[in-house]
Structure 1
Amino acid sequence: MHPVRIAPSILSADFSKLGEEVRAIDEAGADWIHVDVMDGHFVPNISFGPAVMKSVRGVTTKPFDVHLMIAPVDVYLDAFAEAGADCITVHYEAGPHIHRSLQHIKSLGKRAGVVICPGTPAKMLDYLLDMVDLVLVMSVNPGFGGQSFIPSQLKKISAIRTMIEKSGRDIDLEVDGGVDAAWAKRCIEAGADALVAGTSVFRGGPSAYAANIAALRGD
């Protein structure tokens, strides 16, 4: 298991100065930059596309952890790879051929991740762990920031950690949704080694980002 990585979601950043915000969370100690892409179809919100992501790619050398909440997803994989994604994560629920999506991400030379929503059981990963570099557990229903953590997902995180250990593969276990310092501690105890946080990182402005990130780590 890796030391915990913190991936601030730029969905909660000030979009009027997105480049400055990305630079600020980099300097504040972010490990990854989490990019939430929503299409208004698979989820009830629209965020941004590959052009916006590409516009801030040069601001940091930190990995771009790209979470695609879009359906269909396959037709956009190349665009996000070209825009600078390091890891591309797609939803199990977003289409009928998850293996095809993961295979395509790998063919682009990117890390491949799979996301499961709160109502999707861990057992759906049984035939996917041999293909992925990351599993993302949604601890809220995807589509909006600022939601409350769904406690039942802790049991799922523990189950997936056991599955990963049994697989013998080096797979990151990430959690996204309602993660504040208190829930971060419980997620880490359950087996998570990467945490996405939006509101709890960006609260208070740039001068607070380092302390907010440290609090999530439990420092």
Structure 2
Amino acid sequence: MHAETKDEMREKILEATLKRFTHYGASKTTMNEIADDLRCSKASLYYYFPDKKGLHFAVLEKIGEIFHAEQEAEAQNMTSATQTLLNIIEIKRQFVQRYSRLELFKVLNDGSPETQRVMREMKIAIDALITKIMKYGVETGEFVIDDVERMAELYNQTMEGLRFSVIDYCMPVQINADLAPEDFERIVAQQKLLTEIFVKGLKHR
């Protein structure tokens, strides 16, 4: 009989938690329910994760890896830099829609050192991705850019700024509240519009 390794058991916990969070919502799920799904004791869960918040964060890191892989796959098959930028936004929209019950924004806005670390890593990854897309645009003659890295960073700052402007507008008091689906759709629409405007300035004149 195969004896599960520590890594295998941790992965099973994350998969079971993601399934329950996605179906019932993160805040409505208890550690007891997750333990019941796995047919193990709650003490076993605490051996791998100190508390529910730690488990919740680990789940978000797991889906973050999936999210990054989906974006990278899109960039690997691009034939138009402009369309790829728009497709990346659509991937974000579908991702948030798929995992809306995981309370993504509530966790990412908690301001903890661990969250800040993950946010920094995400920023580095998205800067590299957008740089790759813009370099492709330059190489194919779609864009004219003197400093691709700087332009990619500016683009990402602009996209992020739209997100925070909508959050400030919609939630002036509840800073740690999760973002409503309709508010996120508003962000997506504005990001797509601004992308179309942004890339017009990068094309041959």
By percentage of residues, which structure has more strand? 1
Structure exhibiting the larger radius of gyration computed from Cα positions: 2
Q: Provide TM-score, normalisation by structure 1.
A: 0.24
By percentage of residues, which structure has more helix? 2
